[in-house]
Amino acid sequence: MSYKEPVVMQPGDVLHGFAVKRCEAITLLQATMIELEHEKTGARHIHIACSDTENAFGVVFRTVPRDSTGVAHILEHTVLCGSRRYPVRDPFFSMLKRSLSTFMNAFTASDWTMYPFATQNPTDYYNLMGVYLDAVFHPLLDLLSFRQEGHRLSLEEDRRLTYKGVVYNEMKGAMSSPPQIMARALLQALYPDTTYRFNSGGDPQEIPRLTYDGLKEFHRFHYHPSNAWFFTYGHLPIEEHLAFIETWYLSGFERIDPKTEVPSQPRWKTPGRAFAAYPLAPGEDGSRKHQVCVAWLLSDIRDTFELLSLSVLNDVLLGNPASPLRQALIDSGLGSALSDSSGFDADNRDTFFACGLKDVSQEDAEKIETIIFDTLGRLYRDGIDKEMIESALHQIEFHRKEITNTPYPYGLRLLLGISATWIHGGDPMRILDIDADMEKLRAGAIDGRLLEETISRYFLENPHRILFTLSPDSEMNDREAERLARELETIRNGLTEADVARIETLEKELEERQQNQEDVSCLPTLHRSDLTDDIRIVEPSSKDVAARLTCYEQPTSGICYLTVIAGAGSLPGRLLEGVPFLTHCMTQIGTRKHTYLEIARMTDRCTGGLSAGCHVRTLHDNTKDCLALFQLHAKCLNRNIPQTLDLMTELLCDWAFSDMARLKNLVLEYHAELEASIVDSGHRLAMSRASANLSRTAALSERWGGIEHVRWMRSIARDPSPRVLEKLSETLSEIADALLHRSNIEIALVGEKEAIDASIALSGMLENGLPEDCGENGFSAPKFEIAETALPREAWTTATTVSFVAQAFRTPTMDHPDAPALAVIAKMMRSLYLHREIREKGGAYGGFAAYNPEDGLFHLASYRDPRIAGTLEAFRGAVDFIRSGQYAESDIDEAVLQVCADIDKPDTPAMAAKKAFFRALIRLDDATRKRFKENLIRMDRARVLQAAEAHFRDALDHSGVAVVSSDALIEAESPALPDGFRWRVQAI
């Protein structure tokens, strides 16, 4: 089905029961927005008609919890557990196997719940729309699903009671994370009279208070078409969307008043103070582990001009290292980095802004507050530097113009951008097309004092604010465990024999249902006939080997993308571990020509983003070796190419690590970022450790981004004395010297022809600025040793109430005939076995298998998991299952669809070109990719069985195992581990 211009509609036109309210062009998006309302129910609908073939859909409900039982979150899970037309226990996860979707998920926010998807296939689009809409409007909402997804009491073998449930364990993990605790506590403090004071995800202490009847009652009012906002986007015609929605769903409803309006928070007359605690690992020094911030309640979200003004002001105040409020806080030396939740938040009916510091002493709270108000007062009195305002306006212009599908497909990014304003009665068109507001803002901010007056009104003169302190508590988890044990013991003592029998009966019924093989033939599906063996191939438009320059002419909407790569293979082992921190410093510490503040201002003024990074890739023609790469990447509007080229050249040719005060700030900031990510990234850290000795790529990846890197950085941040910093500066200089020389650079340019022509000068600028060749070619394999025979059995402890379990082993890489079968096996193990055993039965938020065809590694892992031993047993069961052959050809078909959906996921022209550039560096040719997909589409059960037997027969006997958990959980689980299994237990 091809794109056709949308039917010209006029306000008042009625189409399939929907009345057109307006039809307007969005020039920047080259699209048309059609806004409608369903006459019978009052459901709202926005359609963005454009030529994009990645069509998106979403339905949003305003969900307004009145407690912290997590009713909105648990309902989001439970409606996806079977519906009237699709009475199977898990149609959502089943559709993941039967679809070519580029995105499928559901989200619960503070006051809305969203069910979005995107796909390039028209048949798939309506298949998914039908499953989603039947789920939300006609869910089964049976008791067993509520118990599985929400919470339930269960009896252990020793007859002790325990709480189980997917959301219960998900939120136990979430509320172990300081950033999550900070965000929830700020809402509770700033909005004491509205729904935002409650934890919409669910407080683990309160989740068990939610009743099954309460869940169903919440659905009755909140999931009604009168409380629904529909969104469609792409090249498919709106007429078919509206006919589908009206005919199958809305025609059966009448209009109601759902009573879900969210009032504005009453404003205070005097400021307040608030406190919260987060768990700290036992024995860790918490004296400088506090977070302190000031937070203000700001504008109504429906005032789109104020939203834009505050967004620009946020960038001025905090957007880069030279931003005055950020600089004042960091330069104070009172903390390591901006506090969690710092910045402007426009997700609620009333917006808010927060800023402060983390890793501070509690007694410094008033000092931090004074710095914040002194800085804001000075900006109000003396005025904001107009150049900083221009830079902030430039950032908005750039990011409006850039088309990106990261982290969500572009259509869904638009939906997420308008949802909060739209559901509260604001004008979504003012979000999608901000040209008029931008002109008004520019005039007021550049020619007048608009932003200064905004500071006065919302910050200096606004009494609705709090001084907030988040404090560490090393006994918090122990106290909660004791409280929970007492609660469960009290409940257990109050149970009658009939109550116990009822719990056991329900648990048995749930287990039987989880174990049953269902007939899912009622669900729609795509077929192999819907697949093609095509792959997207992007060829360079030109390549200059001598200049080490590759150009890709692509339609990029007036944006140029520049990437400079340096090989890190020549670095001696003692320098390798410093490369990630070098990339953190490279764009933020200044050069021999400019200070870091000047570099920050130049970056915001002329680029849409400047970043450095490092990563490790496996060489396709020698999979025992890897390529270690440093990368500097910039993107800019075509008009800013000359300034961006100058900036990149300066960073690469005139680097300097001599500003010791700034270096210390960067050490503390970077370390704080790593520490804050541990709990949320526990599964990634566990997977990295489990595979660290399986390949050179995995070993260096662990040193650059795993637990080993966290501990290396902590050793520096623990004592950033002048001597330590001087040594670090010398190390960074040694690394830069070894990396940045003429023969060790590769350059990629992506953009339209005029942009490429203008950017080619970069290679000459670098050739003139970089030193002559001074060492080995870095595009060779790095030199370091790994202990391949020492497969880890490791448990790493941190402050968490859940676990993350990973097991890894070697498998062949992409060029092996069995590689397509291994990709299929990973999908089958997850969807046919691990999902049931780890999520449904075990109560973890997720369990999965992952095959990396480039590296030849296979991972089994769990996320926010209440178990360890049981999960390791499930991993072994998954291996036994895949070797058993207890699956059908239809299961192979579904897994092939899933792998093809991953392969065919669309990239923007810029991203597709960048991927092609990196494939060339690792010598992965398009013929290999094409052969992989061709063999994938021809996959059958016999080939899967053959590969399973060849590569999984004794795989777990030659695997690495790693767990991220707490001391208490590891100790409790150890007796249940297999005989002879011994942990090496360490604190992260």
- H or E stretch covering 514: helix 497-515
Sign of the alpha-carbon torsion through 580, 584, 590, 591: positive
Which candidate in 76, 402, 577, 746 is catalytic? 76
* Phi–psi pair at 228, nearest 5 degrees: -115, 145
Cα gap 977→135, rounded to integer Å: 40
Amino acid at 550: T
Report yes or no: 74 and 150 within 8 Å, Cβ to Cβ. Answer: yes
Q: What is residue 972's three-state secondary structure?
A: helix
Distance CA 199, CA 177 (A): 14
List, in sequence order, every beta strand (DSSP E) within 289-429.
290-300, 337-338, 343-345, 350-360
Count the helices and strands in the chain (H runs, E runs). 36, 29
Nearest to 43 by CA among 10, 8, 73, 17: 17
Amino acid letter for position 779: F
How far is residue 915's CA from residue 901's CA, in Å, rounded to a whole number?
17
Reply yes or no on whether 772 is catalytic.
no
CA dihedral for 123, 127, 133, 138, sign (positive or negative): positive
* Alpha-carbon radius of gyration of the chain: 28
Torsion of CA 395, 398, 401, 405, to 10 degrees: -80
Question: Taking a C-beta distance cutoff of 8 angstroms, is the pair 862, 804 a contact?
Answer: yes
Closest to 182 measured CA to CA, from 416, 407, 357: 357
The CB density around residue 980, as the number of other CB atoms within 10 Å, is: 5
The answer to whether the CB of 727 falls within 8 A of the CB of 734 is no
Angstrom distance (rounded) from CA 847 to CA 870? 12
**Which residues, 6+ apart, have CB-to-CB distance to 746 below 8 Å?**
548, 550, 564, 565, 566, 779, 921
Report the Cα 603 to chain-centroid distance in Å: 25
Please choose, from the candidates 65, 154, 53, the residue with its C-alpha nearest in 3D space to the C-alpha of residue 112.
65
Please give the Cα distance from 164 to 166 (Å, whole number): 7
The whole-angstrom separation of Cα 22 and Cα 725 is: 61
Helix (H, G, I), strand (E, B) or coil at 616: strand
Handedness of CA 724, 729, 733, 735 (dihedral sign): positive
Report whether 960 contacts 690 (CB < 8 A).
yes
Contact 663, 586 (CB under 8 A): no
The token pair that represents 314 in the structure block: 């946020």
Within 10 Å of residue 638's Cβ, how many Cβ atoms? 16
Is the previous residue joined to 407 through a cis bond, with omega within 30 degrees of 0?
A: yes
| Residue that has been written with the tokens 């072994």 in this structure | 876
- Round to whole Å and give the CA distance between 747 and 918: 11
Give the separation between CA 746 and CA 212, rounded to whole angstroms: 60
CA distance 950 to 927: 25
User: Strand order of the sheet with strand 846-852?
Assistant: 846-852, 857-863, 804-810, 960-965, 793-797, 984-987
Q: Catalytic residue positions?
A: 76
